[in-house]
């Protein structure tokens, strides 16, 4: 047990060092609330299917002291136009079906299918519209997002300790051609899907500090998405999470966690232009006519949040065959520090979910 405890401490130190070393940069479009749900990250027993149904509400608005004036990435005409429009808000609701199946006691396969409802508003064509002050443009789209398939392996299956490594693929199943109220295809950053395959790696660790009473956990992940057919590439994503679970009664678990996300800048294949200043009445000025892979200003972000919540074990609270191996949970993600680089920033978000496990293959006796 001492070796397991040393591994636990080492994991926390590594996460803290990474957290401190990452620079604060700043993402346009939309993001989702992210929290650690043990039933997702763990490896179920052999033959057990764990089903998670998760609802996620994530608002994005401008921070105080920011203007929200950002470039336009016109992928269709390969143009990157600086200071082109002003962001107002984005609201994303995500309904996720997560299936986590234990192939063996140490190996699991997970399928994550998100359904997204997104609404977005910005002021378009600053200095170029008929009013010289831009036109309000709305965007709304519903549908399946990018599906993830993940293989996970439990490196340390002990009674008190667990270390799970994961590697997955994010498949380009989400819509990338949604149009806004002006009839134009919205730029990639606001679409439901990213438009190309993403590679996901992760590590999850948990240790029971007090057996059956208090446990700590840590989770880190990395995503890299390749450039899509429109010449747009989303920035890499790093996530670091640490927290504690406290069992107060057999049916009530209190959870507290800190969540950190770092997004690097997006990139687009385009020329470089400058939007006309208000009341100038001119078309954008071409600064560089060469079509190159260019980093997009005002994308990328850093986000640190505190997330309290609770989980109710319905099987312990109400004894019946309908509640057996079933639990519900609720969490609130509260931002502590945000750098959105003059762009929309994630606000207080909410997560509600239900978990149930099924024995698809009876354990051998």
Structural domain for 107, as ranges? 2-359
Tell me the pLDDT band of 194, cut-offs 50, 70 and 90.
very high
The residues, ordered by sequence, that sit 6+ positions from 46 with a Cβ below 8 Å of its Cβ are: 102, 103, 104, 105, 361, 363
For range 257-268, the mean pLDDT: 96
Which residue from 192, 152, 201 is spatially nearest to 172, judged by alpha carbons?
A: 192
DSSP assignment of 60-127: EEEPTT---EEEEEETTTTEEEEEEEEEEEEEEEEEEEEEEEESSSSEEEEEEEEEEEEEEEEEESTT
Which token pair is 347?
Answer: 């606000």
Write out pLDDT tens, residues 129-145: 555 567 889 999 999 99
Question: Which single residue is written with the structure tokens 């070393």?
Answer: 21
Query: Is the pLDDT confidence value at 126 over 90?
Result: no
Classify 32 as helix, strand or coil: coil
- Exposure string over 23-59, b if 16+ CB within 10 A, otherwise e: eebbbbbbbbbbbbbbbbbbbbebbbbbbbebebbbb
Whether the CB-CB separation of 124 and 2 falls below 8 Å is answered with no
For every residue of 223-239, DSSP letters joined together read EEE---TTSEEPPPEEE
Distance separating alpha carbons of residues 43 and 165, to the nearest angstrom: 10
Kindly state the helix (H) or strand (E) to which residue 23 belongs, with its residue range: none
Residue 343 lies in a domain: yes
Q: Express each pLDDT in 294-345 by its tens digit.
A: 999 999 999 999 999 999 999 999 989 889 999 999 999 999 999 999 999 9
Residue 365 counted as domain residue = no
User: Is 92 contained in some domain?
Assistant: yes
Mean of all residue pLDDT scores within the chain: 88
CB 322 within 8 A of CB 315: no
Predicted confidence at residue 277, as pLDDT, reads 66
What is 311-357 written as a DSSP string?
EEEHHHHS-STTTTTEEEEEEEEEEEEEE-TTSEEE--EEEEEEEEE
Residues forming beta bridges with residue 112, ordered by sequence position: 98, 148
The total number of structural domains in the chain stands at 1
Is 104 domain-assigned? Answer: yes
**Does residue 191 lie in a domain region?**
yes
In a domain, 280, yes or no: yes
Q: Residue 352 contacts by C-beta under 8 Å, 6 or more apart in sequence?
A: 54, 55, 328, 329, 330
Per-residue tokens: 3: 């070796």
CATH number at residue 241: 2.40.160.40
The answer to the question of residue 364 being in a domain is no
Task: Give the closest residue to 304 by CA, choosing from 269, 263, 361, 273.
Answer: 263
Say which residues have a Cβ less than 8 Å from residue 45's Cβ, sequence separation at least 6. Answer: 102, 105, 363
- The answer to whether the beta carbons of residues 50 and 353 sit under 8 Å apart is no
Residue 282 domain-assigned (yes or no): yes
Which residues are 141's β-sheet partners? 118
User: CA triplet 69, 72, 75: central angle to 5 degrees?
Assistant: 165
pLDDT interval class at 9 (50, 70, 90): very low
Task: Tell me how far apart the terminal alpha carbons of the chain are, to the nearest angstrom.
Answer: 28
Q: 16: which 2 tokens?
A: 């803290």
Work out the percent of the chain whose per-residue pLDDT is above 90: 73
């Amino acid at each position: 047990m001492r070796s397991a405890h040393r591994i636990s401490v080492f994991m926390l130190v590594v996460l803290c060092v990474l957290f401190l070393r990452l620079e604060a940069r700043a993402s346009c479009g939309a993001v989702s609330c992210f929290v650690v749900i043990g039933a997702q990250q763990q490896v179920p027993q052999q033959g057990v299917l764990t089903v998670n149904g998760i609802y996620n509400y994530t608002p994005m608005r401008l921070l105080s002291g920011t203007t929200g004036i950002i470039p336009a990435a016109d992928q269709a005409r390969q143009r990157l136009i600086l200071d082109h429009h002003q962001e107002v808000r984005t609201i994303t609701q995500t309904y996720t079906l997560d299936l986590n199946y234990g192939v063996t006691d140490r190996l699991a396969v997970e399928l994550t299918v998100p359904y997204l409802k997104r609404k977005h508003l910005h002021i378009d064509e600053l200095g170029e519209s008929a009013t010289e002050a831009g036109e309000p443009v709305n965007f709304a789209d519903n549908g399946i997002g990018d599906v993830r398939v993940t293989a996970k392996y439990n490196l340390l299956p002990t009674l008190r300790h667990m270390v799970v490594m994961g590697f997955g693929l994010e498949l380009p199943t989400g819509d990338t051609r949604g149009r806004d109220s002006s009839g134009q295809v919205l730029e990639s950053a606001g679409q439901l899907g990213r438009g190309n395959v993403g590679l996901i790696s992760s590590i999850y660790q948990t240790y029971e500090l007090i057996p059956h009473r208090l446990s700590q956990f840590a989770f880190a992940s990395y995503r890299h998405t390749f450039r899509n057919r429109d010449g747009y590439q989303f920035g890499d994503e790093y996530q670091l999470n640490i927290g504690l679970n406290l069992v107060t009664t057999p049916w009530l678990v209190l959870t507290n966690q800190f969540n950190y996300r770092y997004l690097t800048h997006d990139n687009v294949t385009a020329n470089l232009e400058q939007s006309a200043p208000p009341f100038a009445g001119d078309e954008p000025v071409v600064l560089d006519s060469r079509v190159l892979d260019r980093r997009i200003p005002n994308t990328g972000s850093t986000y640190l949040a505190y997330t309290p919540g609770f989980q109710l074990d319905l099987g312990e609270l109400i004894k019946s065959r309908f509640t057996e191996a079933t639990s519900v949970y609720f969490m609130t993600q509260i931002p502590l520090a945000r750098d959105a680089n003059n762009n929309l920033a994630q606000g207080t978000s909410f997560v509600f979910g239900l978990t149930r496990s099924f024995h698809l293959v009876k354990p051998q006796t």
